[in-house]
Homo-oligomer: A and B are copies of this chain.
Amino acid sequence: MPKIKGNLIIGQSGGATAVINSSLAGAVAEALRHEEVGEIYGMLDGVQGLLQEQLIDLRAQVGTPQKLDELKHTPSAALGMCRYKLNDSERERILAILKKYNIRYFLYAGGNDSADTCHRLDLMSREAGYELHAIGIPKTIDNDLPQMDHCPGYGSIARFLAIATQDSGIDSQAAHLVHPIKLIEVMGRNAGWVAASAVLGKRREEDAPHLIYTPERRLDPARFLQDVQEVYKKYGYCVAVIGETVRGPDGKTLGTQAEPYLVDSFGHKYYHGPAHYLMGLIIKELGITARYDKPGTIQRMSMLCASPVDLDEAWEAGAVAARRAIGGETGLMVTLLRGQDENGGYKCEYGVTALENIANTEHKMPVSYINAAGNFVTQDFIDYALPLIGGPIPAYLKLDRAALVKTSL
């Protein structure tokens, strides 16, 4: 019977997703299976809470299969999150806390900033000669972490946007006499993975979305107006999806060319996004009624729209991290890689990479996923992304508007 080697702690960091609690549940489930793990702590609000000794007992709170399943199906970060950069002056403080609670396994779910935090903690403890096994669990809806095929959280925002764009499409077609142009501004930091995912509910050429603009390509407003008008002429309506950081010809995010609508007391400037700017252009230049939707935070943490594939993979990513840490490894982040099942279909495999390979690096969409005109995605992208949302979304009935009744009366 192995001796208890120490306690395990887990934290969540950065913008929450629909499945980050599934990673938490997977890690706890795995930790429960290892006798060398004593307490299983959750840190509230990431390392910022850890610095204040805000620890809760996860073994007591979610240590049963039923509670873990409930946790898996709870969106957003149950432990709370932070955006906090550990600095060297906090080194002694944090090491003292790790020692005080006899923490030997440190798991941290987040994106590249969180990988940086986990990496620093690993270095600090090595330098101090304190044995700590620190492993990162990938998490970001942006899908922009390097060294991996895709990131937990992405499949679920992709499924949300596939459904929301399909819904917006049939609504815009129904309202073509009143509101024919709909823009949808979506998240995605500096990469277009999220915007691109709006295509995943499209079945016919005339279906929404008709246009997709990702931050990888600059958007020329004159060309954009041409694109919209062409689609509108062809189908009588148009749905265009715009990444929230799409840049204009000057390289700046569209919308920031105007004056900020607000400047706060710290001097931070608040600007409208690209969709607001482009909607104004359509109304003024084309004289067509246009609207935009900006789904907001709901897009990244809707449990109703969560991808079942993403939910399961996030769990497994958490479990792998716990297993690796308990097995004695450190300084790594779990990676999700694309394998093949026995029928040549999609299968996720799990690996690791050094945390320093993740921190402060962004993985953008490859050229082959964006069409030549820069206003849509390619079939290669669809083939890549469709398995991540758990296959096609439910289809709706579509009436044949062209089959008009002829009467000889």
Contact = CB atoms under 8 A, between A and B. Distances in A.
B287 A293 contact: no
Size category of the binding interface on chain A = 35 or more
B55 A404 contact: yes
Contacts of A296: 291-295
A168 B400 CA distance: 38
Contacts of A403: 56-57, 60-61
Interface string A304-344: 11000000000000000000000000000000000000000
A160 to B, nearest CB: 9
Total copies of this chain within the assembly: 2
A175 B81 contact: yes
Contacts of A295: 293, 295-296, 298
Interface string A150-169: 00000000000001100110
Q: Which of A55, A168, A399, A401 gathers most chain B CB within 10 Å?
A: A399
A366 B381 CA distance: 52
Contact of A297 (B293, B302, B397): B293
Interface in A229-273: 261-262, 264-265, 270
A409 interface: yes
Contact of A61 (B67, B167, B284, B400): B400
A293 B299 CA distance: 11
B301 A304 contact: no
A378 interface: no
Contacts of A301: 167, 171
A350 interface: no
27 contacts: A41-B405, A42-B399, A45-B176, A54-B401, A56-B401, A56-B403, A56-B404, A60-B403, A73-B396, A73-B397, A75-B167, A76-B171, A77-B174, A80-B174, A80-B175, A80-B176, A80-B177, A83-B177, A84-B177, A102-B409, A163-B304, A164-B298, A167-B303, A168-B298, A171-B297, A262-B283, A291-B296
A296 B284 CA distance: 22
A407 B294 contact: no
Contacts of A56: 399-401, 403-405
A33 interface: no
A117 interface: no
Contacts of A399: 42, 56, 61-62, 78-79
B44 A401 contact: yes
A280 interface: yes
Contacts of A48: 177
Contact of A302 (B45, B79, B167): B167
B284 A265 contact: yes
Interface in A37-81: 39, 41-42, 44-45, 48, 53-57, 60-62, 67, 70-71, 73-81
Given A61-B400, A405-B57, A167 B76 contact: yes
Interface in A110-134: none
A340 to B, nearest CB: 31
A79 B301 CA distance: 32
Contacts of A163: 304
A264 B285 CA distance: 9
Given A167-B302, A404-B54, A405-B56, A396 B16 contact: no
Contact of A397 (B41, B78, B167): B78
